[in-house]
Amino acid sequence: MTDNTTALVTGANKGIGYEIAAGLAARGMTVLLGCRDHTRGEQAATRLREQAATGPHAQIIDVRPIVLDVTDPATIEAAAASLTRLDVLVNNAGISGPTIDPPSAMAAQTVREVFETNVIGVLMVTNAMLPLLRRSPAPRIVNVSSGVGSLAHHTDPNHYMSALPPTAAYPISKTALNSLTVQYAKELRKDGILVNAAAPGACATDFTKDLPLTITRTAADGAAIIVHLATLGPDGPTGGFFDDAGPVPW
Ligand SMILES: NC(=O)c1ccc[n+]([C@@H]2O[C@H](COP(=O)([O-])OP(=O)(O)OC[C@H]3O[C@@H](n4cnc5c(N)ncnc54)[C@H](OP(=O)(O)O)[C@@H]3O)[C@@H](O)[C@H]2O)c1
């Protein structure tokens, strides 16, 4: 398909995933925009190309939509089968779930749905892409987590997250994703595959638009740490959890 360094970003048609794709493409990578809707993927690719082609740093970028629903094994297998090369996998697609009920009132089905995308989806996509990544000279995996996945933050009385309302779907899915990141890093260290989790920070996207908060951080701001981890040199860390400021406590 391509001889160029190639990245796959899941959930790339909008928000932080779109900006991760922009950042990696600007660095010269071929970027596959994993999108569950073909039309939204095509539209995102067109927008990315147009944006890159304007302004003082105008460039031609190589971005290509690819249908990929992280909860649908058939689309994952078809996507993997269509590729001949993959160097960077960014597991970005994520959902918050329909409710933020406390654990005692949380519907099991909500937890299942959120885990299906945020954890099982990452496992399925990663495992499907590993044969390609193992053939890369510098393979990198970045799992887009969240600060709310940090148990240290929730249990630190001095951290603002300890005062957030308790809930049992999204935060625990990101804690599980952090754990999955560590387990993959342990397994894949011998293969030279660096695997890290990133906390983009609260960014103004569709994901946060209904929250009663004023968020000034942009999706591009949130994408920066992910692009950094996706482009680590050979001595870069593996099995870590990072935000803009450095390591995040687990
Ligand atoms: N925004 C924040 O403040 C924030 C903070 C911390 C962590 N995060 C994490 O950052 C990641 C991106 O969030 P965002 O703010 O950019 O959210 P967003 O604007 O809602 O975008 C989410 C993306 O994921 C895609 N997606 C959802 N389910 C999918 C599935 N089953 N298969 C494939 N794609 C799927 C969406 O596709 P559709 O357009 O088809 O729905 C969309 O492209 C998430 O993992 C989120 O948990 C966000």
Task: Please report the atom of ligand 1 found closest to the CA of residue 174.
Answer: 47
1: pLDDT strictly greater than 80: no
Is 170 a residue of the active site? yes
| Closest to 242 measured CA to CA, from 186, 201, 189, 190 | 201
Contacts for 59 with CB less than 8 Å, ≥ 6 apart: 26, 52, 53
Neighbour count for residue 187 (Cβ, 10 Å): 12
Pocket test for ligand 1, best of 9, 10, 16 (most atoms within 8 A of CB): 16
Give the chain's largest Cα–Cα span. Answer: 54
Contact 83, 4 (CB under 8 A): no
Percent of the chain with pLDDT over 70: 99
Mean pLDDT score, 94-101: 92
* Residues 28-63 pLDDT 10s: 999 999 999 999 999 999 999 999 999 999 999 999
CA 53/CA 48 separation, integer angstroms: 9
Neighbour order of strands in the sheet with 194-198: 62-67, 30-35, 6-10, 88-91, 140-144, 194-198, 241-243, 246-247
The pLDDT of 93-104, averaged and rounded, is 94
What's the pLDDT tens digit per position in 152-186? 999 999 999 999 999 999 999 999 999 999 999 99
Cβ 13 under 6 angstroms from ligand 1: yes
Does 17 contact ligand 1 (Cβ within 6 A)? yes
Q: Where do the structural domains in the chain lie, given as residue ranges?
A: 6-247
pLDDT at position 213: 86
Q: What is the pLDDT of residue 155?
A: 97
As a whole number of angstroms, the distance between CA 65 and CA 74 comes to 17
pLDDT over 90 at 3, yes or no: no
Ligand 1 closest atom vs CA 145? 7
- Is it the case that residue 2 has pLDDT exceeding 90? no
Residue 242, pLDDT > 80, answer yes
Q: Rounded distance, CA 113 to CA 71, Å?
A: 9
* Displacement of CA 82 from its chain's centroid (Å): 21
What DSSP state is assigned to residue 10?
Answer: E
Q: What superfamily does domain 6-247 belong to in CATH?
A: NAD(P)-binding Rossmann-like Domain (3.40.50.720)
241, 178 Cβ separation under 8 angstroms: yes
Average of per-residue pLDDT across 10-15: 98
What is the best residue among 33, 36, 211 to mutate for testing ligand 1's pocket, by most ligand atoms within 8 Å of CB? 36
| Interval 221-240: pLDDT, tens | 999 999 999 999 999 999 99
Element (H, E) at 149: none
Tell which atom from ligand 1 comes closest to the C-alpha of 200.
6
The pLDDT value given to residue 212: 85
If you take atom 17 of ligand 1, which residue's CA is the nearest one?
207
Q: How confident is the model at residue 83 (pLDDT cuts 50, 70, 90)?
A: very high
pLDDT of 151 > 70? The answer is yes
Per-chain mean pLDDT for the chain: 97
Sequence-ordered list of residues with C-beta below 8 angstroms from that of 223, at least 6 positions apart, any chain: 16, 19, 20, 22, 23, 200
217 lines ligand 1 (CB under 6 A): no
Pick the catalytic residue from 174, 186, 190, 209: 174
Taking only the tens place, the pLDDT of each residue in 199-216 is 999 999 999 998 888 999
Q: How confident is the model at residue 120 (pLDDT cuts 50, 70, 90)?
A: very high
